[in-house]
Structure 1
Amino acid sequence: MKEAKVSKADTEWRARLEEIADETGYYEPLGADHEVLFHDDSPVLIVSFETRAQIEADADEALPFGYKIARDEGWSALSVIASDESWFRDSAVYAYFDRLVDEAFFEDFDRVVFYGAGPGGYAAAAFSVAAPGATVVALAPQATLDPTLAGWDDRFPQTRRMSFTDRYGFAPEMLDGVAQAFIFYDPFERLDAMHAALFARPCVSLMPCRHIGPDPATALLDMDILDEVLIAAGAGKLTPSLFWTFFRARRLSRRYVFRLLDHLRRARRPVLEAIMCRAVGTSQNRPKFRNRYEALAQKLAEEGIELPEPLQRAGAA
C-alpha cells in the first residue's frame, strides 16, 4: 500500500502550526484529515472548530479565528482543524476528546467557550458535552444530518456515508450540560431555521438574525462584531440583549443593507424600500440610494401614496 503524498503546501502549513505550538502549547495530527493546535496562556479557553479553507481565506494571517481571538485577549485556544467539510465525524477526533475528558483537561480552565460555524457549529455543540458548564457559540449549525431526522436537508450529499448516530452524534442532546448556548441563524434561510428549531432547550438562546444570509460568520465579520461576540462569551458577559446591541452595526454593513433591500423588493414593499433608501442615502451619504429613493418617491406620489416624514433625531432642529 502506497503512502499518501504530502504536498509542499501541506508541509509548510504543518510547519507553521508546529512553530506556533512550540512557543505556547502543542500541535498534533488527528488521523489523516484533522489536526489540533493548542495555545496555553490563561484560565479562559476558546475551543474552535474550523476548516483549513476557512482559515486560509483570511488573507492577513491565515490562522484559526478562535486562536487569533485568544491570542489577542491573552487567553488559551484549542483549534480543531479539518482538511475539508467533515463535520468532524472522525474516530480520531472522538478519541482525542475522550482523552481530554480522561485527563480532566477542561477542569483546568475557569471558562470554556466552544465556537464554530456551519459544520464547525455542529461540532462546537456536539463536542461541548466534554466540558460541562461551557458556553457554546454556534453559527448556522446543523443539528444532525442523519437522514431519518433531517432528510429534508439535501444541501450536503457528501455526508450520505457519514454516521451521525454514533458518538457525539445528535448535537442538541450534547448541550444538556452546558451553561449557555447561543445559536445564530437567519430565519429566512428555511433549512437553517429548521435546524435551529431542533436546538430549542432551556439552556439555549436562539438568535434569529434577519437578513444575514446562509453564512452568518461572514456577515458578522463584515459588521466587525464576531470578535466582540466571542470576547463577551470568553468574559462570561454574553447575553442576548448584549448581542442585539452589537447587532446595530448591521446598519453600516453593505452586505446586510443590500440583502434587506432585495427582500423588500421581492416582497413588493415599495414604501418600506423608499424609507430605507432615504435613510441610508442620507445617513451614509450614498448617492445610489438617494437616487433610488427619489425614483420610488416619484412613482408612489403618482399613485397617490405619500411617504411619512423622516423621524427627527433627539436634539435636532
Structure 2
Amino acid sequence: MQDTSAPIDTDLSGLDKAEWLTRLADTAEARGHFQPLGRKHAAAFIDAGSTLLVSFESIQGIRALSDAARPIGWQMVDTNGWSSLTLISEGDTWFRDPKVYGYFDALIDDGFFDDFDTILFYGAGPCGYAAAAFSVAAPGAKVLSIQPQATLDPRVTEWDERFTHMRRTSFTDRYGYAPDMLDAAACAYVIYDPQVELDAMHAALFTRRNVDKYRLRFMGSAIQSELIEMGLLIPLLSAAADGTLDTQGFAQLMRARRDHPPYLRAVLAHVDHHDRPGLAAMICRNVLARLDNAPRFARRLKALERESRDDNAGISTDGA
C-alpha cells in the first residue's frame, strides 16, 4: 500500500459542478483511484496512511460545507495522515443503489480493507445511514454517525414523513437495515438532538450492545454543520478512530458550545418558550460577560429588565 503524508493541495472552490467533478476525479486518480458508480454515485480513494476514513457525502454537502469544496476525508489526509475513501452522491440518495453494493462487494473480494489497521465509517443524516449500513463490509470497523436514519421502510418508520419520496426505494435488500449492519462493528457512536423528535426516534432504533448514543440538546437538525463551524468534527473523528471517545471526553469537547451563538440562542429561546424570565436574564448576563459581540442577548436583557421594572412598578401601585 502506498504511504505518503503529502497534503492534498487541490482547491476545488469556485468551480462549476462538471469541472469540480473532473478536478476531484483527477486528484483521486493521482493518489489512489476514482470510480463512477452509475449516474448518481462515485467513489474517490486517497492512499495515505494505515487509518482509513470511509466517509459518505453528497456533492451539495461537500461544496457547501468546505471552504475549499473538498471532502471531509481529505481534511483527515492533511491533518492526520489518514487514507480517505469518499462515497459521493448526487443529492440525498441514502446510497441505495446496486452499483454501490457492487463496489463494496468488490472491495471485500479484493481484500481492500485488510490493508488498514483502523477503519472508521462516517456520515450525517442520509449519509449517516449509509455509514452504518455499509460498515458491515469491514468487520471490526468503527462508526461515527450523526443524526442517522435507521431505515425508510414505511413498515418500520411510517411515522417519519420527511422523506416520503423515498418510500418506493427498497431498504430491505442488501445493506438494508442500518442498525443490524452494525453487529460486526467494533463500536459505533450515534449523535443526535433529542429535541428533534424524529431524529430521536431513529436513534432509539440503534440501541445495540456496541452502540453509544450521545445527545446534543439545542443543536437542531444540522448538527454536522454546527460541529464543523465550531471546529469539533475533526477532533470527534480522531477520538472515534483511536478509541478515546467516551462520555466524559464527548462532554469536554462539547463545552465549546458555550461560545457558539446559535446554540446559545437556542437555549435562550427554549427558556423564553417556558416563560422563565429570571433564568433568561441569567443566561443573557453570562453570555455578555464572556462574549464580545452578542447584540441579541444585550437587547433581550434590556427587554427583560424593562419588563421586570414594569412588573415591580405595578406591584408597588397595587400595594398603595
TM norm structure 1: 0.89
**Preserved contact between residue 45 and residue 234 of structure 1 (Cα < 8 Å):** no
Aligned ranges 1:16-95 → 2 under 5 Å: 16-58=23-65, 60-95=67-102
TM norm structure 2: 0.88
| Partner secondary structure for residue 137 of structure 1 | strand
Aligned ranges 1:1-317 → 2 under 5 Å: 9-58=16-65, 60-285=67-292, 286-300=294-308
Displacement after TM superposition at 1:71 (Å): 3.0
Alignment deviations for residues 213-270 of structure 1 (CA, whole Å, 9 cap, x no partner)? 0111012112211111012223332223211111000011111111111111112222
**Preserved contact between residue 46 and residue 70 of structure 1 (Cα < 8 Å):** no
**Preserved contact between residue 117 and residue 139 of structure 1 (Cα < 8 Å):** yes
Specify whether residues 270 and 123 from structure 1 end up closer, same or farther in structure 2 by C-alpha distance, changes over 3 A only. same
**AA at the equivalent of 1:273:** A
Identity of matched residues, %: 46
Displacement after TM superposition at 1:282 (Å): 1.3
CA distance in 2, matches of 1:301, 1:275: 16
Partner of 2:8: none
**AA at the equivalent of 1:229:** L
In terms of mean alpha carbon deviation, does 71-80 or 11-20 score higher?
A: 11-20
In terms of mean alpha carbon deviation, does 235-244 or 60-69 score higher?
A: 235-244
CA distance in 2, matches of 1:17, 1:202: 38
CA distance in 1, matches of 2:185, 2:49: 21
For structure 1, which runs of at least 5 residues remain unmatched after alignment?
1-7, 305-317
| Partner secondary structure for residue 255 of structure 2 | helix
Displacement after TM superposition at 1:291 (Å): 4.1
**AA at the equivalent of 1:81:** I
| Partner secondary structure for residue 241 of structure 1 | helix
| Partner secondary structure for residue 88 of structure 2 | strand
| Partner secondary structure for residue 184 of structure 2 | coil
For structure 2, which runs of at least 5 residues remain unmatched after alignment?
1-14, 313-320
Alignment deviations for residues 129-165 of structure 1 (CA, whole Å, 9 cap, x no partner)? 1111111111100000000000000001220221001
| Partner secondary structure for residue 114 of structure 1 | strand
**AA at the equivalent of 1:37:** A
Specify whether residues 222 and 60 from structure 1 end up closer, same or farther in structure 2 by C-alpha distance, changes over 3 A only. closer
Give the aligned length: 297
CA distance in 2, matches of 1:301, 1:69: 54
Alignment deviations for residues 258-295 of structure 1 (CA, whole Å, 9 cap, x no partner)? 11111111122222211111100111133542342243
Specify whether residues 89 and 288 from structure 1 end up closer, same or farther in structure 2 by C-alpha distance, changes over 3 A only. closer
CA distance in 2, matches of 1:197, 1:47: 24
Displacement after TM superposition at 1:120 (Å): 0.2
CA distance in 2, matches of 1:247, 1:38: 31
CA distance in 2, matches of 1:188, 1:219: 16
| Partner secondary structure for residue 143 of structure 1 | coil
**Preserved contact between residue 65 and residue 225 of structure 2 (Cα < 8 Å):** no
| Partner secondary structure for residue 60 of structure 1 | coil
**CA-based RMSD:** 1.7
| Partner secondary structure for residue 169 of structure 1 | coil
Displacement after TM superposition at 1:45 (Å): 0.3
| Partner secondary structure for residue 176 of structure 1 | helix
CA distance in 1, matches of 2:93, 2:217: 28
Alignment deviations for residues 31-78 of structure 1 (CA, whole Å, 9 cap, x no partner)? 111000000111100000000000111462111112222332111000
CA distance in 2, matches of 1:270, 1:154: 35
Displacement after TM superposition at 1:14 (Å): 2.9
**AA at the equivalent of 1:111:** T
| Partner secondary structure for residue 207 of structure 2 | coil
CA distance in 1, matches of 2:220, 2:84: 28
Displacement after TM superposition at 1:101 (Å): 1.3
**AA at the equivalent of 1:201:** R
